[in-house]
Amino acid sequence: MNDPAAFASTSALAARFAEQRARLERAARAAGRAPESVRLLAVSKKHPAETIRAAYAIGQRDFGENYVQELVEKAEALRDLRDLRWHLIGHLQSNKAKSVAPFVHSVQSVGSVALVSELGKRVRTRRAVELGALDVLVEVNVGDESSKSGCSIASAREIVDAIDAEEGLRLRGLMTIPPAVDDASGSRPFFDELARLRDELGGAARLPELSMGMSHDADIAIAAGATCVRIGTALFGAR
> What is the binding site for ligand PLP (CB under 6 A)?
43, 45, 66, 89-90, 177, 214-215, 230-234
* 96 backbone dihedrals φ, ψ, rounded to 5°: -105, -5
Of 66 and 117, nearer to ligand PLP (C-beta) is: 66
Complex with ligand PLP: residue 62 or 164, whichever CB lies closer: 62
CB of 165 to ligand PLP, least distance (A): 26
List of residues 6+ apart from 220 with CB closer than 8 A: 184, 185, 187, 188, 191, 213
Cβ closer to ligand PLP: 25 or 164?
25
Nearer to ligand PLP, 225 or 232 (CB): 232
Cβ proximity to ligand PLP: between 178 and 225 the closer is 178
Shortest Å, Cβ 211 to ligand PLP: 8
**b/e 147-158 (16+ beta carbons within 10 angstroms → b):** ebebbebebbee
| Closest distance of CB 17 from ligand PLP, Å | 13
- Shortest gap between Cβ of 151 and ligand PLP (angstroms)? 15
Nearer to ligand PLP, 89 or 168 (CB): 89
Q: Which residues pair with 161 in a beta bridge?
A: none
CB of 224 to ligand PLP, least distance (A): 16
Question: Nearest approach, Cβ of 167 to ligand PLP (angstroms)?
Answer: 27
Residue nearest ligand PLP (C-beta atom): 232
C-alpha to C-alpha distance for 97 and 112, rounded to whole angstroms: 13
